[in-house]
Amino acid sequence: MKYKEYQYLIYSDLYRIVGNKKVSYLIKQIFLGESFKYIFWMRTSRYFSKNIFFKYTLYPIARVLLNHYKYKFGIDISYKTNIGSGFYIGHFSGIIVSSQSKIGNNCNISQGVTIGQVNRGKNKGYPILGDNVYIGAGAKIIGNIKIGNNVAIGANCVVTKDIPDNGVVVGIPGKVISYDGSLSYVNRTDY
């Protein structure tokens, strides 16, 4: 990962959360923001791990801070997880994302969300999420499934099957109830 890519990811995440990309907002969110603070150290740990100079100097410090915030905020998203730009965590606590999962651009994750693997059966593997996906509080996305672009997943929904683009999914197990998508749920994508 190059510095420009790292910088772009940080500022796109910042813009999605506060609606501004000024350095003063960045500094304020690093010290005072809960979800951005975690996202910042997650992205920083990934960047430092890929840079030979930082890997043996600043990377260990970034990992210690990331682990500290993991337990403080109840968010378990590995720095190795492939996450696109504009990542947004609405409320912290109880969020678990498998490190092998893939998350597209402009994903909104609420509290209590699990994105995890299945160890056996026809859905053995990890989820892949498209762009502009909204995931409601308490939702579970499990197994080798593909979530399309512009999908809205309702609160406490359990998704175990592929979801097409623009689907709105609710229930246990998750069922598509409309194709209105996540348009009104995913904001500030013009960074």
pTM of the model: 0.93
Residue that is last in its domain, among 82, 108, 126: 82
CA within 13 Å, CB half, 84 = 15
Among all residues, which ones are annotated catalytic?
91
Tell me the C-alpha distance between 117 and 23, whole Å: 37
Contact 13, 86 (CB under 8 A): yes
Residue that is last in its domain, among 82, 104, 131: 82
Tell me the C-alpha distance between 36 and 69, whole Å: 11
DSSP 169: E
Say yes or no: 101 and 141 in one domain.
Answer: yes
- The contacts found for 78-84 with CB under 8 angstroms, 24 or more apart, are 78/42, 79/42, 79/43, 79/45, 79/46, 79/49, 80/46, 81/42, 83/107, 84/131
The answer to the question of residue 88 being in a domain is: no
Residue type, 112: G
Say yes or no: 35 and 62 in one domain.
Answer: yes
Tell me the C-alpha distance between 15 and 28, whole Å: 13
Say yes or no: 75 and 125 in one domain.
Answer: no
What is the residue range of 156's domain? 94-182
Residue that is last in its domain, among 56, 82, 108: 82
Say yes or no: 78 and 21 in one domain.
Answer: yes
The answer to the question of residue 188 being in a domain is: no
The answer to the question of residue 63 being in a domain is: yes
Note down pLDDT in tens along the chain; length 191 residues.
Answer: 899 999 999 999 999 999 999 999 999 999 999 899 999 999 999 999 999 899 999 999 999 999 999 999 999 999 999 999 999 999 889 999 999 999 999 999 999 999 999 998 888 999 999 999 999 999 999 999 999 999 999 999 999 999 999 999 999 999 999 999 998 899 999 98
Backbone φ and ψ for 112, nearest 5 degrees, come out as 75, 15
Strand-pairing partners, residue 128, are 102, 146
The answer to the question of residue 9 being in a domain is: yes
Say yes or no: 154 and 126 in one domain.
Answer: yes
DSSP 95: E
Place of tokens 């890997």: 55
